Structure 1
């Protein structure tokens, strides 16, 4: 079919600046005429000369407006000289699967349609993220370029005559402006599942499940439904009734697709009954995971990545590809640091955002990494990977012959325990949140920080003295790029930390995050509840930061 592209006049929209994981806004904003078109055109323009004759992967988490956005991308990509689009059936691809396909197909990059763990639906959120040819999120130099172009855009290119059935696995060929343009609709699970079979011993995992370990997996009505059915029901023969909420929904069943103790409370209550020995939940786009043991034993994400690191030999992939290094995001607890120190491995601390792990992986210096925000992964792709984390844990249980709680107890005995908690204050109005953060930055500035360092605080029987305070900055060891203003840190004389950040994943208002991390070597205290163990530090952090005074808010939305 021979088609001709056209040029459509437009004008810029303010605020199309990609954050930590792309551009996220209310769905109603993306539906605004020309809004999505502008951002897609700006993204393709930022790719530059590499775009001509290139292949791109496209997929999303199934949320409201995703299908329409896929068709917009098809029309704009065709008019901008893209050779081929590789799209998941029905538009669906998990974020890890997009990274997998980019790397396997040697594509120029990919466009992911997701707002991750944010709510969906007409009154929810939507998002667009560009991943580069290594499969990982675009670095700041590219996202800044996208933003600069979006601020000046006056037109976008479009080819209106292309019709593609997203539900049918097939390849369609067109001629646009005399050049070939191909749209390939692919099975959204097949390539990714093939990669998982190369990494893990599915036979050993199935033997574990056949031995009596009952598992339950909650897809939370996100994109992971098809992946869970194929992996756990078809491959590992887990009963279908143990695969929960596996039908992707445009509004995630009216729920918040965030796998934590608050938004996945139904899974927590189910695990408390003791029927299942292993439970997991995923977020909307499948890159985050929550893990629970028998009786709802919660595996903190900071502990999870530390345990995987310490037990990498249980995973066939790492027997063939020895661990080159470990990394965590700055707010993540120091549990992984203990593993690196005791087991003699290199550890990197990076800012929040998976893109910061990518350079280290590409340079062959990083194998396993994680973030406290329920993100865990390795160098098999360049995104965090929820299903990978679940299969990694099942591999460890199969190899060690222990329960999740037993694995953690032995881990703490060897490495010590880092008690950790994160308090999220969602929907904080912009002005007080910004003033609060500005005040914190002033407190740790060169002129003021000496007033803070050395101050002692006593709560109950605990006394903490501030030994260091700063606004975290990071120099990439590969590209030597400096990244500033990544979070306010209060580091106490015993190594405990209180960290404050404004999240980059909210579509409206601000999400304020407070992280508390404290190492404990006394084995008699390992059984304490994290909130009880950290209460003195939490009180001190709130007092020093003056959060209530600036915002008027006393209670967090979510406690992890």
Structure 2
């Protein structure tokens, strides 16, 4: 067996490698700069400290441009840094939820995920690298801070330049590096995740739903993978396992540029699915983003389910899912900007509720403490404690499980929910690629204005409805598990009836700053709950 030697390569630090909400995201051309990717990966490994030597890590990505090149590069760097074993998805492919599952199932030290999530892909588009810790979730703030501190002082990285590994063929590859054994296990990207879904849901009842039974016609679905990573998972689950027709799944081949699609599952970018659903042939539609953690749910004739409503409806019917019949329902949570629909479900059911900053890592702390079962974000993310990431396919299966048990369609479930709990009309406005310094100054001035004591009690009347300012602040989160504080997470304007306006900076862009404005208007009058959300919110926001 050939023995490989590692080498130390001098480098210079980069000052722009601070991870955002979910890893480091830049243009592909930035990562292709000499030593740029190498530096960041070395910093991730250095952050493991004494746990690096002899560690086992998971590696995979969403199939976008530069994933395979980066994966092979990371294998060489890990080999030179004392990592004992890498578990790599075949072809370098792994959905983000699948990585989280495998980290937990194999008890590894963590995983490196190559993804820019819902950002577009291609040679001139976006790429990203994020590190998930040994609980399967995104690295918490203190870890990402340590990674960044390492990057700004990094002077060298370690690599085995001659090591080549075939990541397209499953198997275990063994190498001797500096006298030590180094293994790369290339695995089926889909199998373990599908096995987990079969443990969580009642696949027999889902098959019956899709094929029709007890006088019910077949329930027709349309699933759009948007040429992202979920394609192979979707085919295995919905076609091979649940018996859906091949025509029920579209855009299932992972492509480096997502086939020109913008893999963000919303009404703007998943227009192909929306248009198909408008024809009224299908009863249920779902779309997933590039790395498989986000989802959009549609009912017949493209009836749109907001992520906030999706979370609330699943919360109200979580008892139908076999997994929770075993584990029990421990708590609900949402990100701060997400509409307050799940809050009312928690209140009515007596289940603990948590409001956290944007970023899935904040949910993970609660899950690890056994205090949280279901959570979600308005940015089309929903998940549970089965892993430590949001999970698009899980959300679609959860909806189908509820539909199978309730024997109601998507729109019927939503209307019934609104009549019981009221409706949170919700929308979000994004202003992208803005000058970062100007945005920071704007938020500073806005905080000074709205947190003035004279602002509390301000009354706004619109169409005979009164909105009275109850509270205004810059959201600060105190983690109930470790007591850590996460300040300045967004300006909140809270009204007495539960309506809200939120302004914050997003951390998921690859360049510039993204300002997001969220409007959440609560309505309990049954005569008004079926009004168009966009019209209602536009007028409300204009008055404020």
Q: TM-score normalized by structure 1?
A: 0.95
| In 2: Cα distance, 1:450 partner to 1:186 partner | 59
Structure 2 stretches lacking a partner, 5+ long: 213-217
Q: CA RMSD in A?
A: 1.1
Aligned to 2:510: 507
Q: CA deviation at 1:538?
A: 1.4
Matches within 5 A, 1:453-468: 453-468=456-471
Contact kept, 8 Å, 1:215 with 1:278, in 2: the verdict is: yes
Cα deviation 1:248-283 (Å, max 9, x = unaligned): 111111121100000111111111100100000000
1:176-191 correspondence runs (5 A) = 176-191=177-192
Structure 2 residue 14 is matched with structure 1 residue 8: no
Which residue does 1:526 correspond to in 2?
Answer: 529
How far apart are the structure 2 equivalents of 1:440 and 1:188?
47
Q: Could you tell me how far apart the structure 2 residues matched to 1:518 and 1:133 are?
A: 39
SS in 1 for 2:519: strand
CA deviation map 1:322-370 (0-9, x unaligned): 0011111111111101101011100011000000001110111001111
Tell me the residue number matched to 2:200: 199
Partner of 1:475: 478
Partner Cα separation in structure 2 for residue 243 and residue 366 of structure 1:
32
Q: Is 2:487 the partner of 1:484?
A: yes
Aligned match of 2:276: 270
Instruction: Give 3-state SS (helix, strand or coil) of 2:48's partner.
Output: helix
Q: Which of 408, 413, 422 is the matching residue for 2:414?
A: 408
**1:547 paired residue number:** none
Which residues of 2 match residues 429-444 of structure 1 at below 5 A? 429-444=435-450
Superposition deviation, residue 460 in structure 1: 4.3
In 2, the alpha carbon distance for the partners of 1:540 and 1:136 equals 41
SS of equivalent residue, structure 1 residue 15: coil
Give how far 1:286 is off: 0.2
Residue aligning to 1:368: 374
Q: Which residue matches 2:23?
A: 22
> Among residues 235, 247, 252, which one is paired with 2:253 in the alignment?
247
CA distance in 2, matches of 1:383, 1:390: 15
The offset of 1:532, in angstroms, is 2.2
CA drift at 1:233 = 1.3
* Distance (whole Å) between structure 2 residues aligned to residue 10 and residue 113 of structure 1: 22
**TM-superposition CA deviations, 1:79-120 (whole Å, max 9, x none):** 110000000000000000000000000000000000000111
Q: CA deviation at 1:439?
A: 1.5
Match of 2:85 in 1: 84
What's the offset of the Cα at 1:417? Answer: 1.4
Task: Report the secondary structure of 1:20's partner residue.
Answer: coil
- Aligned to 1:523, what secondary structure does the other structure show? coil
**Rounded Cα–Cα distance in structure 1 between residues aligned with 2:497 and 2:230:** 41
- Equivalent positions of 1:50-199 (< 5 A) are 50-199=51-200
Provide the aligned length of Structure 1 versus Structure 2.
Answer: 538
Aligned to 1:46: 47
Mapped contact 1:460–1:536 kept (Cα < 8 A): no
Runs of 4+ in 1 over 6 A off after TM superposition: none
For residues 127 and 283 of structure 1, what CA distance do their matches in structure 2 show? 14
- SS of the equivalent of 1:524 reads coil
Q: Matches of 2:366 and 2:356 in 1, distance apart?
A: 10
Q: Which residue of 2 aligns with 1:380?
A: 386
> Does 1:421 find its partner at 2:424?
no
Q: What is the distance in 2 between the residues matched to 1:273 and 1:88?
A: 37
Which residue number in structure 2 is paired with residue 218 of structure 1? 224
Partners of 1:273 and 1:538 in 2: CA distance = 33
Instruction: Kindly state the Cα deviation for residue 312 of structure 1 after the two structures are TM-superposed.
Output: 1.0
TM-score (norm 2): 0.97
Are 2:301 and 1:298 equivalent residues in the alignment? no
Alpha-carbon distance between aligned partners in 2 of 1:231 and 1:516, rounded to the nearest angstrom: 36
Q: Secondary structure at the match of 2:527?
A: helix
* Contact residue 444 and residue 471 of structure 1 kept, 8 A: no
Could you tell me how far apart the structure 2 residues matched to 1:535 and 1:120 are? 32
After TM superposition, give the deviation of residue 434 of structure 1 in Å. Answer: 2.6
Moved more, 523-532 or 387-396: 523-532
Name the residue aligned to 2:519: 516
Query: Does residue 331 of structure 1 match 2:337?
Result: yes
Displacement, 1:440? Answer: 1.4
Equivalent residues of 1:462, 1:536 under 8 A apart: no
Q: Which residue of 2 aligns with 1:544?
A: none
| Alpha-carbon distance in structure 1 between the residues aligned to 2:485 and 2:76 | 37
Deviations 1:5-42 (A, max 9, x none): 01000000111001100001111100101000000000
Q: 1:429 deviation in Å?
A: 3.0
SS of alignment partner, residue 442 of structure 1: helix
